[in-house]
């Protein structure tokens, strides 16, 4: 009998005891290939000696110093590195205001999103626009489980039980080509049309009320690795600029190298005003998140209130920042970004070969080592499986049986829950492990489909 209040109250969990590269080993000695990094966290695998040593060294010298009193070398150096790697805006005026050159550290993804929402509101207050009180975000998005993040999130089933507690927020359609692109419409035309939904929503609610638009650069935990259409975010940026609306990009899952670029939005040619990161930042070695903040927002708040009324006891924890710094050093020293792109292509090719013609796989998509699969009961009509069959939960259970950790999830499609599988193996994954992943996933999928046949 466990006294731990686990998120899943009905079934017992195996006891994880050790990690070895891409594998987790449980108390019975069973090995699981971690093909999703938990939830896109473990980008360096589970036993990186350099990161462990860096955390230990920080614990030996100073485990904790409250950031209301002190800064630390690890926090300063990590911020320097993130700022140096952040995408740069084009043009002189944008470079002055939009360069992401401040980093606000927190302990996870939801905290990063909460901080970004409050920073955006604070910036509106400090520029004399207190009437801006509304966020616009997207349906089928996930920004975290705290109440502010849940309010901007657009994942219906996660929101539902807490709906009466959520602040008002507006939602537009996601950029989701598999279901929203029209027959004969080019990718570029679709990207522009999808972005124009923001313009329409702004006209409807009034631009003077909108603080910011919030979106995941590549959608993760609700739809399984859906990249934006070409030109989508550039159009979104233009719309936001025209109306004085801030752009918050959530790269908690897709950032920190998962797509083959340290910041996913670099590939889309946009620089947001606030950029949320977590997961791969601490890589599972420590709980860590951050918000990269533009010079413009920082200067506005500094020249106004001069204070950001926020913060948590463990924000910028010294050992967490030391871990995050070691992860960044490892990614740079081992030149892992080209590797993620190469192995991402290798994974996507394997998935296409194995599942491209599968009768119940409707779509395969993704970027780098961030790949997703959408399951459908009917490929032609793109009909989702009946949610009461709980296909995604069955795939998860069957995969665990087979010794595979993947991240099946239920998204909501036109009010109906659909089934998706997210794959996010570590950046150090080997080709042979990609074969193992594909084999075990096929085995789990077949077993789960047989369960509901």
Residues in contact with ligand PLP by the rule CB under 6 A: 39, 108-110, 113, 142-144, 216, 220-221, 250, 252-253, 278
204 secondary structure, DSSP code: H
Nearer to ligand PLP, 99 or 392 (CB): 392
3-state SS, residue 276: strand
Nearer to ligand PLP, 227 or 436 (CB): 227
Nearer to ligand PLP, 154 or 231 (CB): 154
User: Bridge-partner residues for 170, per DSSP?
Assistant: 136
Nearer to ligand PLP, 23 or 407 (CB): 407
Angstrom distance (rounded) from CA 257 to CA 336: 8
What's the min distance (Å) between Cβ of 127 and ligand PLP?
Answer: 26
Nearer to ligand PLP, 300 or 323 (CB): 323
Output the DSSP codes for 130-178: TT--EEEEETT----SSHHHHHH---HHHHGGGGGGSPP-EEE----HH
Angstrom distance (rounded) from CA 404 to CA 427: 17
What's the min distance (Å) between Cβ of 149 and ligand PLP?
Answer: 6
Nearer to ligand PLP, 57 or 147 (CB): 147
Nearer to ligand PLP, 40 or 402 (CB): 40
What's the min distance (Å) between Cβ of 392 and ligand PLP?
Answer: 15
What does DSSP say about strands 210-216 and 134-138: parallel, antiparallel, or unpaired? parallel
Cβ atoms within 10 Å of 16's Cβ, excluding its own: 12
Tokens of 180: 């929203």
Q: Angle formed by the axes of helices 431-452 and 391-402, to 10°?
A: 130
376 secondary structure, DSSP code: -
Contact (Cβ atoms closer than 8 angstroms) between residue 188 and residue 230: yes
What's the min distance (Å) between Cβ of 218 and ligand PLP?
Answer: 9
Nearer to ligand PLP, 419 or 436 (CB): 419
Nearer to ligand PLP, 176 or 355 (CB): 176
Nearer to ligand PLP, 85 or 253 (CB): 253
What's the min distance (Å) between Cβ of 143 and ligand PLP?
Answer: 5
What's the min distance (Å) between Cβ of 254 and ligand PLP?
Answer: 7
What's the min distance (Å) between Cβ of 94 and ligand PLP?
Answer: 25
What's the min distance (Å) between Cβ of 109 and ligand PLP?
Answer: 2
Ranked by CB distance to ligand PLP, the top (closest) residue is 109
- Nearest one of 408, 407, 398 to 447, comparing CA atoms: 398
∠ CA 5-421-249, rounded to 5°:
80
Q: Angle formed by the axes of helices 431-452 and 336-355, to 10°?
A: 40
Angstrom distance (rounded) from CA 29 to CA 352: 32
Angstrom distance (rounded) from CA 354 to CA 305: 57
What's the min distance (Å) between Cβ of 270 and ligand PLP?
Answer: 17
Angstrom distance (rounded) from CA 96 to CA 422: 38
Angstrom distance (rounded) from CA 366 to CA 129: 39
What's the min distance (Å) between Cβ of 144 and ligand PLP?
Answer: 3
Contact (Cβ atoms closer than 8 angstroms) between residue 424 and residue 348: no
Angstrom distance (rounded) from CA 144 to CA 127: 28
């Amino acid at each position: 009998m466990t006294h731990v209040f686990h998120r899943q109250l009905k079934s017992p969990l195996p006891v994880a005891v050790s990690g070895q590269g891409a594998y987790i080993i449980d108390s019975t000695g069973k090995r699981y290939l971690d093909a999703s990094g938990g939830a896109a966290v473990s980008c360096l695998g589970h036993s990186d000696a350099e990161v462990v040593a860096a955390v230990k060294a920080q614990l030996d010298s100073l485990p904790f110093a409250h950031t209301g009193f002190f800064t630390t070398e690890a926090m300063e150096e990590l911020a320097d590195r993130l700022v140096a790697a952040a995408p740069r805006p084009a043009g002189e005026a944008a470079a002055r205001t939009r360069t992401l050159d401040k980093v606000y550290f927190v302990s996870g993804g939801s905290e990063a999103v909460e901080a970004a929402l409050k920073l955006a509101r604070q910036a509106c207050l400090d520029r004399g626009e207190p009437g801006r009180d509304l966020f616009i975000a997207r349906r089928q998005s996930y920004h975290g489980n705290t109440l502010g993040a849940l309010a901007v999130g657009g994942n219906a089933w996660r929101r539902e039980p807490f709906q009466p507690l959520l602040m008002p927020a507006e939602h537009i359609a996601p950029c989701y080509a598999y279901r929203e692109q029209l027959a004969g419409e080019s990718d570029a035309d679709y990207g522009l049309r999808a972005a124009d939904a923001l313009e329409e929503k702004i006209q409807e609610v009034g631009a003077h009320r909108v603080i910011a638009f919030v979106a995941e650069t590549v959608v993760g935990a609700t739809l399984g690795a859906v990249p934006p259409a070409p030109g989508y975010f550039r159009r979104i940026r233009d719309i936001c600029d025209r109306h004085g609306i801030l752009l918050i990009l959530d790269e908690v899952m897709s950032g920190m190298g998962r797509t083959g670029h340290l910041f996913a939005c670099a590939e889309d040619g946009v620089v947001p005003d606030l950029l949320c990161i977590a997961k791969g930042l601490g890589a599972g070695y420590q709980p860590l998140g951050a918000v990269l903040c533009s010079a413009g927002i920082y200067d506005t708040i500094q020249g106004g209130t001069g204070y950001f009324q926020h913060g948590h006891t463990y924000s910028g924890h010294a050992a967490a920042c030391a871990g995050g710094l070691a992860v960044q050093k490892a990614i740079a020293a081992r030149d892992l970004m080209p590797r993620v792109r190469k192995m991402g292509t290798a994974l996507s090719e394997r998935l296409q070969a194995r599942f491209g013609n599968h009768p119940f796989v409707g779509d395969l998509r993704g970027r780098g080592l961030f790949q997703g699969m959408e399951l459908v009961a009917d490929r032609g009509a793109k009909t989702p499986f009946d949610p009461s069959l709980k296909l995604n939960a069955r795939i998860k259970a069957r995969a665990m049986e087979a010794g595979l950790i993947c991240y099946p999830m239920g998204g909501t499609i036109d009010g109906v829950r659909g089934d998706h599988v997210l794959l996010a193996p570590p950046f150090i994954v080997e080709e042979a492990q990609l074969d193992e992943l594909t084999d075990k996933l096929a085995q789990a999928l077949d077993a789960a489909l047989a369960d509901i046949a």
